[in-house]
Structure formats: structure tokens, C-alpha cells
Amino acid sequence: MGSYVLRRVLQMIPVFFGTTLLIFLMVYTLPGDPVSALFGQKAADPAVVASIKHKYYLDQPIWKQYLHYMGNLFQGDFGTSFTGRPVSDIMADAFPVTIRLALLAFAFEIVFGLCLGLLSGLRRGSVRDTLVLLLTLLVISIPVFVLAYIAQTIFATNLGWVTPTVQDSTDLSQLILPAIVLGSLSLAFVARLTRTSIGENLRADYMRTAVAKGLPRRTIISRHLLRNSLIPVVTFLGTDLGALMGGAIVTEGIFNVQGVGNVLYRAINQKEGPTVVGIVTVLVIVYLVASLLVDLLYAVLDPRIRYA
Amino acid sequence: MPVAARARWVLAAATSVVLVATGCSSGGGGSSSSDTSKTFSYQSSEPQNPLQPANSNETGGGRIIENLFKGLVDYDPSTAKLRNQVADKIDTSDSQTFTVTLKDGWKFHDGTPVHAKNFVDAWNWGATTSNNQINSSWFSDIEGYKDVHPASGQPVTDKMSGLTVTDDLHFTIKLTNKVSYFEYKLGYIAFSPLPDAFFKDPAGFGQKPVGNGPYQFVSWSHNQEVVTKTFPDYQGVDKPKNGGVIFKMYNTSEAAYADLQSNNLDVMDQVPPSALATYKNDLGDRAVDAPQGGIQNIGFTLYQADWSSPDKAKVRQGLSMAIDRDTITKTVLQGSRKPASAWVAEGVEGYKAGACGDFCNFDPAKAKALITEGGGVPGNKVTITYNADGGHKEWVDAVCNSIRQSTGVDCTGDPKPDFKTARTLISQHQLNGIFRTGWVQDYPLNANFLADIYRTGAASNDTGYSNPQFDQLSKQADEAASVEATVTGYQQAEAVLPSGMPAIPLWYYRTNSGYSTKVQNVKFDSFGNPAWTQVEVKG
């Protein structure tokens, strides 16, 4: 197990370099000049453009820019945005907001997704199973932004329970509605995955054995059935955490949550290299760590899975 | 959602307002009485640059700077006419040397007085290349600009020879050429004064500015809000009738509109396209529909062989007559624009309706005839290049349809992914055909819509238009003895444009906005901004 973890951690290094290089190249070689774009409709002043480019190291060949960027990164310097703020400050503001939003959505999809999946999986073909299937199908087929606008209209405009947009992004209670919207799609997947997985395992030999042994129903479901059925669900959840963090752009836009999605969207629009690469680098690390955790969790859930 | 959560939402919103409105007294009156200590919130976006006056050219930062700083002059929001602020008077006898007299008693928010050197130092700093200020070209009229801002290489000095401080309240400006309307330019934020504290730490200042305007900086929670409060010592003619402005950052105008409807936002910029059809119904008499000093054009690549021969002017005139402006503004643009009949926007000093003549009227038969006379469009096919991120697709398609149906010329839109890609192609003259272009006033004078765009070699002359007669008339207008004479001079220059038709005027921008039930007396100026200081918050 120890050598497995070590190998996995070592594997993360080339992945990290590969992804950052790719992102860097994509952002920095996009057509259009970010510095000239700062001037808007007015003609850019060549002298100032040259001076700003020099300041941000943009007048160097791309490979030098990458080395310069990585060199600074390893000294903990993510660079400076055009607003004159260090990118690390920007991320320190945005990440906690999105992490809270993603974790709330994550908790929501785990709790409700598993419950719904369990409810329908235990009694396949029943009324409640059909109901869950219908509900999740509905959620899957509606795009997130439509769902967000529906939620905004019903709960804010019509019922007046909440304000239409989040007034303070650091307030956890205000993030509940956006989190539910954000997590709803994954919730549907979790519910359906759990349902299928439980349905299959119900017919497994070890289940028949457990029932024959006369074990109490609770023990059968929690110890035997659920634990085995969770493996595919955990795989999904692991990658989903990363997706929630990066995929919050639409939800954050509609609810005006000042998180990573929002900052990233603006930075991409303005082609602000340091901010985009910095944020995506952190997101890549989140993905890597999440998938590592998933692999480790396998062994916990099913000791038969051995990593030689 | 449980009631407890609801209470917390409300509480959070309430505290943020109370926090700013320090010493808020309870007015406790009817709906029409106002409380001058109360703040109002305005839809904004995170500034793209540090908050330095010479470095803000986009709306997000520009409107904040505009409220924190006040220059020598500004424009009356109701008439768009120039009025004095810090300046007591600006005298000139030859339109080239200006003597500025300041009013006594103006102060920066840190208590230091506003003196002549604060202007001169600020302008010198803003113009110098090494300070990387985006608005530095605004100072290019001043003598000595080339020394601090050479076309390439390092500046030889950091002081422009054209600026001389006489005493605390007087300084002179000498220009390289005669510019009779230079005063009009002085209303732009780049010409704001800076306190001595600025020069010690410009970068730090950019995050925490100290100005001399009606509002003073309180805090900037990045991506969330910039909070300002009324500066009690403000000496301007427009004393604030409210306690301050909170600039709330919104990612989308849809989000802002939803907040406006539920009174969580007081005044907004521009309603989202999705609400254009309904906002007047939604908001009733709180809906705003006001003219704006901006114009949408489509320009031709006159630098390309396809368009450079003199005959092609007829083709351009024909294309202009093939566009049904009335129908497109009414249907596709839902009344958010007004058909243009000149190259200068409505409401701007010197605007002359109908300057475009018949060429801006929809007449398919004549359009066809003109295009044939001019030798036709090369290949009988044109493309209109535009940026796909600005919501232009719908009207570009409509314009193309109009051209196709009325003249038989094949027309297609040519979207570029975003503004900067399109701008790079346009400014580097890499296109062949027609492209979308627009102009929003820097100052409300017709010269700004003509000299800056159509003069030979002008920095924003994207079409490559060059007409000796137009240049000559512009030069004469610049050298005129008074602003009035300049205005008429430029009207004569504008009269030259129809014959060459370098760009087709399409329509003028409008401010389509609204406000919450908590505020009143919200009037928008030709820049599309509310008259900030005149907004009243109900008691």
C-alpha cells in the first residue's frame, strides 16, 4: 500500500507539468493581443503597449515565458494580474468561496443522491422507484442555467424567501440555493448509479449468505450491500468534486457568487495569462488529489482490491 | 428554505448598508422625502486596471475614478455642456496657450489642498511612457509630450515643457498645435489632479485612491464591491444629495436585473438584452430610456484594392441605402437603438441630424442603381466582420439580410471569437470587406466623433480614410477662435463624409436602464451614467 501511494504521488508530477504546459501554451498563444485589448475601441499606443509587455514579460519567446512562469511558481509567486493584484491574492479570495459552494453541493448530492438511490434500488419497479427515475431524468435533461433561473424565479422573485443573487459570497447560508442547483445534476447521476449498483448487488451470493445467516436487515444493507455498491459511486464522486469546482462558472454567474468560476471567466475573456494558468493549476492539483483519494478509498471499501 | 435562513440573508444585506451609512439618522418620512446620509448601490464590474486616473479607460474602473476625482471642468449631466469645477476660469487668446486659474479651497480627501502643481505633476506622470498609463495619449496635445513619451525607447525627461506652474492657483498649458476645444478634453478623467501622496506609492494608491471628488474611497472588496462615502469638504457645483455610492460587482446584467427588481440593487447600467422587451412593463415609471453619445457604424477597408478606387464610394453609398435601419432597430434591437442620420451621435454638441443625407434612408431601388454605377461589389459578395462576444450577431445578420434582399449582393457575417481578436485584425488592417465599429464619446463634442476617426492617420482611423478636404476643414476647425466656431467647422467637415462614405452610420446607442423603489431623481447623462450626486435615497 505504501509503495502504491508513493507511486501515485510520483505519477502526479509529470501530469502536473504536462497540464500546466498545455494550459500555458493554450492561453498564451491564443490569437489577439491582451495588452492592446486593454485600450478598448481606441487605438493602442505602441510605446505603452511595448512597455506593459515588457513589464509582464510578454515580449519574450513563449518557452522563456513558460520557464519564467514556472521558476516564479516554485518560489510561490503566481504573478500579477493587470489590475496590479498578485494572482495569489485573487485566488485566496476566490477559492474559499468556491470550495464552500462545491462542498455544499457535494454534501447535498451525497446525502440526497445516496438516499434516493437506496430507496429506489431496494425496491426496483415500485412506485417510488419510478418516481425517482422520473425525477432524476427530469433533472438530467434540464440544463443547469435553466434550473438556476427557475430556482431564482420561484424562490426569490415569487416566494421572496431569498434574494435573487448572493449578497455576500462568504456567507454559507446564502450559498445553499446555488449549491443545490450546482449539485442537482450530479445528484441525479449519484442516485441512478447507486440504484443500479444496489440492484445488481442485491442478487449477489454474499447477500444471500448474509440473509441466510439471519443477520439483521440494517447490518446487511449498511455493511454488505452499501459498502460494495459504493465503489462506482465513489469513483464518480471523486472526479465530480473537481468538476464542481471548475464547473461552477454558470451557477456563479447567475447567482453572482464571487468565486473561482467568475474570476476564471473574466480572466479568460481578458486573456489574463497569469490568473488563468494559476487558477487552472490549482484546479489540476484538486483533481489529482481527489482521484488519488478515490483510489485509496477503493482499498478501504473493498479489501479484495489489492495494489501490488 | 427555512425562515431562519431568510432572516440571515436580509440581515446580511442590511448590515452591509448600515456599515457604510455611518451616522445614519432616521429620516422617517414619506416616500418623496430623501435622506442625504443614505447610500445607494450601483451595478458595476471589477475594474480591469488599478484605480489611477490616467489608467482607467473601461467603464468598471472609469466610473469609480469619475466619482473619486474631479478635474478642472466636467459636463453638466442634463445639458452635456462644459462647466467649471476646480477651474475658476480657463483663458486663451490663441487656442494654443491656456492660462488656468483654480478656485481656492478645494481639498483632497486626505486634507491637502488642490494646487496647480497637483495637476501638472499628475499629467506629467500620466504621460510618461515608463509609467504604463493606458490613457497617456490624452496628453499628446501638450508641448513636450514627445520627450516624455517617445514613439519608441526611453523618455528623455519626465516633465512636459508645455506645463508651467505660475503659483499655487495658476498654471499655463502650451499645446503643440491650436486646439480650440482643448477645454472639452479636460473633462476626461485622465486630467484629474493627484495628491502628493500618490507619487510616493503609485501602486498602493491604485488599490486605495485618494481623490478630490464628491465621494471618497472607503474600501474595495475585490470582485464584490467598492464602497464610497460623501466627502463633506467637496467644493464642486454638484454637491451630493446622498451619502455615497456602493459599486456592486455583477458577473452578468441578468443577475443585476434580478436584484434590481427585488430592490437589492438601486441603479443599474443597462438592462440585459433578455429584458429589453419587458423592462418598461416590469419597472413602470422607474424605467429609463435616454439618449447616449455613442454610435454603431460599419466601416470599410479602404486600404484594400477592392474598396480603394474612387468609384467605390458609390457602392458604399448604395450599401448604406440598402439597410433598413428603422425596421432593424425596432425588431431585432427592440427599440434599444435609434436610427442614425449622421456620423455624430445625438445629443452631442454639434450634432446635426441628416448630415448623411439621403444615403442613410432606406431605398432599395436607388441602392441597387448606385452599386451598379460604382462597378458593383467585388465578387458580388461582402462579409461583415464582428466580435462574437458582444451580442452583435443578431443585427449583423439582419443588416446582411437587408443588403441581400434589397440589392442581391451576397452578404454574410464573419464572426471573430472575441473583441480583442477582432480589434487586432481591424487595427492592423488585415481585413478585406466591412467590419463592425462603434464609437462612444470621450467628451460630448462633435470633433470627438470626426477628428479622432476620419482624419488621415488618426489613431482610431480604422478604415484608412484619407481626404485632404476633410483634413483641411478639421484643421481650420481646430484653429478656430471659439468652441462655437469649432463646432460649425466640424459640421462642415462632416458634410464631406457622404461623398466618400468611409463608414456607414447605423444607429445611436441609448441607455435602457431602471432603478429601485428606494431611490428617486435618477437621470442619465449622455455617457450612460446617472447623475451620481443628484440621486436621492428615500428616507
Whole-complex ipTM: 0.81
Residue % of chain B over a pLDDT of 90 = 74
pLDDT in tens, A225-279: 888 888 888 888 888 887 888 777 888 888 988 888 888 888 887 778 888 888 8
Residue B351: DSSP 8-state:
-
Count Cα atoms within 13 angstroms, Cβ side, for A246: 15
- Distance (Å) from the C-alpha of residue A98 to the closest C-alpha of chain B? 13
User: Who has greater pLDDT, B56 or B318?
Assistant: B318
Domain layout of chain B by residue ranges: 12-285+516-537, 290-510
Beta pairing class for B73-75 and B244-249: unpaired
Q: Quick check: B168 pLDDT over 90? A: yes
Q: Which among A29, A33, A35, A42 is the top mutation candidate for probing chain B, defined by the most B β-carbons within 10 Å of its own β-carbon?
A: A42
Q: Which CATH superfamily is domain B12-285+516-537 in?
A: Periplasmic binding protein-like II (3.40.190.10)
In chain B the first and final C-alpha atoms are separated, in Å, by 31
Cα B328 to its chain centre, rounded Å, is 24
pLDDT in tens, A107-117: 999 999 999 99
Domains and CATH numbers, chain A: 91-271 (1.10.3720.10)
* Sign for the pseudo-dihedral over CA of B41, B46, B51, B53: negative
Question: What's the mean pLDDT in B355-363?
Answer: 94
Question: What's the mean pLDDT in B374-399?
Answer: 91
| B249 phi, psi to nearest 5 deg | -85, 130
Least confident of A93-102, A253-262, B24-33: B24-33
Contact B1 A51 (CB under 8 A): no
What DSSP letter does each residue of B227-280 carry, written as one string? EEEE-TT--SSS--SSSEEEEEE-S-HHHHHHHHHTTSSSB-SS--GGGTTTHH
Q: What is the pLDDT of residue B502?
A: 95
Q: Identify which of B531, B530, B518 has the alpha carbon closest to the alpha carbon of residue B262.
A: B518
Cα A213 to its chain centre, rounded Å, is 42
Q: Beginning with the edge strand found earlier in the chain, give each strand of the sheet holding B87-92 in spatial order.
A: B87-92, B97-102, B170-174, B163-167
Q: Quick check: A300 pLDDT over 70? A: yes
Q: What is the pLDDT of residue A112?
A: 92
Residues from chain B contacting residue A164 (CB–CB below 8 Å)? 255, 258-259, 261-262, 264
Q: Identify which of B387, B397, B383, B437 has the alpha carbon closest to the alpha carbon of residue B417.
A: B387
Residues from chain B contacting residue A176 (CB–CB below 8 Å)? 1, 5
* Side chain identity at residue B3, one-letter code: V
Neighbours of B259 (CB within 10 A): 25
In B, minimum Cα distance to A168 occurs at: B12
Residues from chain A contacting residue B50 (CB–CB below 8 Å)? 83-84
pTM for this predicted structure:
0.85
Contact B255 A169 (CB under 8 A): no
Cell of B13: 444585506
Residues from chain A contacting residue B225 (CB–CB below 8 Å)? none
What DSSP letter does each residue of B356-398 carry, written as one string? TGGGGS--HHHHHHHHHHTT--GGGEEEEEEEGGGT-HHHHHH
Packing angle, helices B393-407 and B312-321, rounded to 10: 110
Q: What is the pLDDT of residue A306?
A: 58
Q: What angle do CA B132, B136, B138 make, to 5 degrees?
A: 170
Question: What's the mean pLDDT in B292-301?
Answer: 94
pLDDT in tens, B120-139: 999 999 999 999 999 999 99
- Distance (Å) from the C-alpha of residue B472 to the closest C-alpha of chain A? 23
Is the minimum CB–CB distance between B437 and chain A shorter than 8 Å?
Answer: yes
Q: Identify which of B422, B427, B387, B399 has the alpha carbon closest to the alpha carbon of residue B303.
A: B427
Residues from chain A contacting residue B224 (CB–CB below 8 Å)? 168-169, 258
- Distance (Å) from the C-alpha of residue B449 to the closest C-alpha of chain A? 12
pLDDT in tens, A133-171: 999 999 889 888 898 989 988 988 888 888 888 888 778
Contact B13 A155 (CB under 8 A): no
Distance (Å) of CA A47 to CA A65, A99, A253, B48, B156: 21, 42, 36, 20, 14
Contact A55 B50 (CB under 8 A): no
Residue B181: DSSP 8-state:
T
Q: Which residue in A84, A156, A167 is closest to B258 by CB distance?
A: A156
d(CA B137, CA B146): 10
- Distance (Å) from the C-alpha of residue A39 to the closest C-alpha of chain B? 7
Q: Quick check: B41 pLDDT over 70? A: yes
Is the minimum CB–CB distance between B390 and chain A shorter than 8 Å?
Answer: no
Helix, strand or coil, per DSSP, at residue A274: helix
Contact A85 B460 (CB under 8 A): no
Residues from chain B contacting residue A156 (CB–CB below 8 Å)? 258, 262
Cell of B86: 476646480
Cell of B181: 476645444
Contact A31 B421 (CB under 8 A): yes
Neighbours of A291 (CB within 10 A): 18
Q: Identify which of B396, B392, B460, B387 has the alpha carbon closest to the alpha carbon of residue B419.
A: B387
Residues in chain A: 308
Contact A256 B264 (CB under 8 A): no
Buried b (16+ CB within 10 A) or exposed e, B76-100: ebeebebebbbbeebebeebbbbeb
Contact B223 A262 (CB under 8 A): yes
Q: Which residue in B49, B417, B459 is closest to A82 by CB distance?
A: B49
Q: What is the pLDDT of residue B510?
A: 93
* Side chain identity at residue A78, one-letter code: F
CATH number of B290-510: 3.10.105.10
Contact B223 A258 (CB under 8 A): yes
Note whether B342 and B494 are within 8 A (CB). yes
In A, minimum Cα distance to B453 occurs at: A42
* Sign for the pseudo-dihedral over CA of B514, B519, B520, B522: negative
Residues from chain A contacting residue B251 (CB–CB below 8 Å)? 252-253, 256, 262, 265-266
Note whether B443 and B75 are within 8 A (CB). yes
Is the minimum CB–CB distance between B419 and chain A shorter than 8 Å?
Answer: yes
- Distance (Å) from the C-alpha of residue B170 to the closest C-alpha of chain A? 30
Question: What's the mean pLDDT in A286-294?
Answer: 83
Question: What's the mean pLDDT in A63-91?
Answer: 87
Residue % of chain B over a pLDDT of 70 = 94
Q: Which among A163, A170, A174 is the top mutation candidate for probing chain B, defined by the most B β-carbons within 10 Å of its own β-carbon?
A: A163
Q: Quick check: B7 pLDDT over 50? A: no
Q: How many CB pairs under 8 A join A and B?
A: 168
Residues from chain A contacting residue B16 (CB–CB below 8 Å)? 167-168
Q: Quick check: B6 pLDDT over 60? A: no
Residues from chain A contacting residue B275 (CB–CB below 8 Å)? none
In A, minimum Cα distance to B202 occurs at: A84
Q: Identify which of B375, B373, B314, B322 has the alpha carbon closest to the alpha carbon of residue B499.
A: B314
Q: How confident is the model at residue B17 (pLDDT cuts 50, 70, 90)?
A: very low
Q: Which residue in B152, B203, B255 is closest to A165 by CB distance?
A: B255
